[in-house]
Amino acid sequence: MDLKDPEQEAALVEELKKTGPPAAPADLCYAGAEDVACDVCTGRKLRACKSCLVCLISYCEKHLQPHYDVAQLKKHKLVEPSKKLQENICSRHNKARKLFCRTDQQSICYLCSVDEHKGHDTVSAAAERTERQRELEGSRLNIQQRIQDGEKEVKLLQHEVEAINGSADKAVEDSEKTFTELIRLMEKRSSDVKQQVRSQQEREVSRVRELQEKLEQEISELKRRDAELKLLSHTEDHNQFLLSYPSLPALSEPTHSSSIYIRPLSYFEDVTAALSALRDKLQDVLREEWTNVSSTEVDVLLSAAEPTTRAGFLKYSQEVTLDPNTAETHLLLSEGSRKATFMKQPQSYSSHPDRFTDYKQVLSRESLTGRCYWEVEWRGGRVYVAVTYKNISRAGDECRFGLNDKSWSLDCNQNSYSFRYNSKCTNVSGPQSSRVGVYLDHRAGILSFYSSVSNTTTLLHRMQTTFTQPLHAGVWLCCVGTTAELCKLK
């Protein structure tokens, strides 16, 4: 059967509703409270397997079969079972909502289009769906790009964590090794000093003992002679006394007092004094060096020195491009989305939540972390060269670069520069140039702007803070005809 007339088609649907199915086999699935029931079944309804967007009816497998067999029904749009089919029926005219009113942004039936929506911008629901689907795909692409960027940044931050942990572990290992070597050296010196003192002690004691024994022998000899002389002095016989006296042996030479060197009582105090002086020197050195170590910021320990030449900056050059989804509508992007030009007439950009609406500003596609450098060539009137967090406002005065706490900018005018952050303006002196270099060390919180002429760079302004999010490059053009281009450096 080939149905051409919608009335015949409707009649068929009604007939299906009236006839109903035969008794359902036991193995068929009846509709539960959470299921979509077949609209054709009578009595206990079976679970629907499809809903038809043309019939606006849900069917079980049996009642769906004509949609597979009848040529006209084959053209109907079948979807997964839905409880919201009646939302596709106009409550006023009881007709299918097959049109969309762009003026009032709502689905309508064809009678609505000639009634309260007469003269409005109306299209078929399918056409509007196609347009919205295109926008949805664009949004998805943007979300997927942001996911990729976010995952890339997460990996960079993970590498940062690994680098920090690795550097800290190595510093601890090296410090332990260094202090172990110092301790071993001190123990070796302590052993040497102890051995030297004990050796000198032994020599000195031996020398003193030798002199002591010699003197004791002399004393014994003198005592013996004194006893003999005493005995002789008591001899009463004069002749015997005279005969005995000449036979007394002569006294040996006494040990000369000059050979006995009596040191002060403090024999080794000079060693103690020398070690005390050495200890004081070591304490001073350790105190000074420890002050240097403990006062060093972690970021300074982990970050290399800032380049001083343009060649040094170019080692950290990063290709930066402009994001069309953020460009204010009067900005024309060209040169592979690296150049922005302030046009008198607006460009045909589609609407996007990331787009600036009140000021002629645009952000880079790329998020910036780590150490990076880029240059901006500007021509014409006033230009702001900036870095900013991605979540900066897109409308109102609070979106302007440098006039909030989410962005930092260098105001480049024909005859002057000024640096702006959080609405505070700082005048900057330096050579005028149509090219500005921007150096960012995200981890160390360093942001520097340079005047770039030929192969030389001159520092215009440098600031240090703590960045809490990845940054994006940005430019703000203030006059019609002004251009700003992110230069190719490689």
| pLDDT given at position 462 | 93
Tokens representing 239 are 């002749």
Residue 452's DSSP bridge partners are 457
Report pLDDT for 290.
63
> Tell me: the pLDDT tens digits for 146-171?
899 889 889 988 988 998 899 889 98
pLDDT of residue 248: 65
Contact 383, 484 (CB under 8 A): yes
DSSP for 243-258, written as a single string: HHGGGSPPPPPPPPGG
Q: Look at residue 153 in the predicted model and tell me its pLDDT.
A: 87
Average pLDDT over residues 251-280: 68
* Across 336-345, average pLDDT: 95
Sign of CA dihedral 122, 124, 128, 130: negative
Measured CA angle at 302 (ends 298, 306), to 5 deg: 110
At 343, is the secondary structure helix, strand, or coil?
coil
Q: What is the rounded distance in angstroms from the CA atom of residue 11 to the CA atom of residue 68?
A: 17
Domain boundaries, the chain: 310-487
Helix (H) and strand (E) counts for the chain?
Answer: 10, 19
Helix (H) or strand (E) holding 231: helix 125-233
Sole residue written with tokens 């039936």: 109
* Architecture in CATH for domain 310-487: Sandwich (2.60)
Would you say 387 and 447 are in contact if contact means Cβ atoms under 8 Å apart?
Answer: yes
Please give the biggest Cα pair distance in the chain: 185
Average pLDDT over the chain reads 85
The residue-averaged pLDDT of 250-262 equals 61
Span of 94-98, 455-459, 482-486 with lowest mean pLDDT: 94-98
Q: What is the pLDDT of residue 300?
A: 39
Measure the CA–CA gap between 239 and 220, rounded to whole angstroms. 29
* 3-class DSSP state of 399: helix
CB distance 440 to 374 below 8 Å: no
| pLDDT per residue as tens digits for the range 20-56 | 444 444 446 888 888 899 989 988 899 999 988 888 8
Q: Is residue 320 packed enough to be buried (19+ CB in 10 Å), middle (13-18) or exposed (0-12)?
A: buried
Using CA atoms, how far apart are residues 149 and 483, in angstroms rounded to an integer? Answer: 28
Contacts of 391 (CB under 8 A, 6+ apart): 406, 469
* pLDDT tens per residue across span 179-227: 899 899 889 989 998 999 899 899 989 988 999 999 999 899 899 888 8
Q: What residues have CB less than 8 Å from 15, skipping those under 6 apart?
A: none
Distance (Å, whole) CA 479 – CA 462:
27
pLDDT, one tens digit per residue, over 124-139 is: 888 998 989 998 998 8
Cβ atoms < 10 Å from Cβ of 374: 25
Distance, in Å, from the CA atom of 248 to the CA atom of 234, rounded to the nearest integer, reads: 15
Find residue 106's DSSP bridge partners.
101
The amino acid occupying position 164 is I
Written as one letter, the residue type at 48 is: A
Cα angle, residue 374 at apex, residues 370 and 376 outer, rounded to 5°? 150
Best mean pLDDT range from 37-41, 54-58, 233-237, 308-312: 37-41
For the chain, percent of residues with pLDDT exceeding 70: 86
**Quick one: pLDDT at residue 229?**
87
Per-residue model confidence (pLDDT) at position 475: 97
DSSP string, 273-287: HHHHHHHHHHHHHHH
Specify the pLDDT at position 294. Answer: 54
Q: How many angstroms separate the CA atoms of 373 and 462, rounded?
A: 14
- Residue 257: which pLDDT band, with cuts at 50, 70 and 90? low
pLDDT (0 to 100) of residue 412: 94
pLDDT bin (cut points 50, 70, 90) of residue 261 is: low
Helix axes 269-294, 125-233, angle to 10 degrees: 170
Give CA–CA dist 165/226, Å, rounded. Answer: 89
Kindly state the tokens that stand for 389.
Answer: 């967090």
Tokens of 388: 């900013």
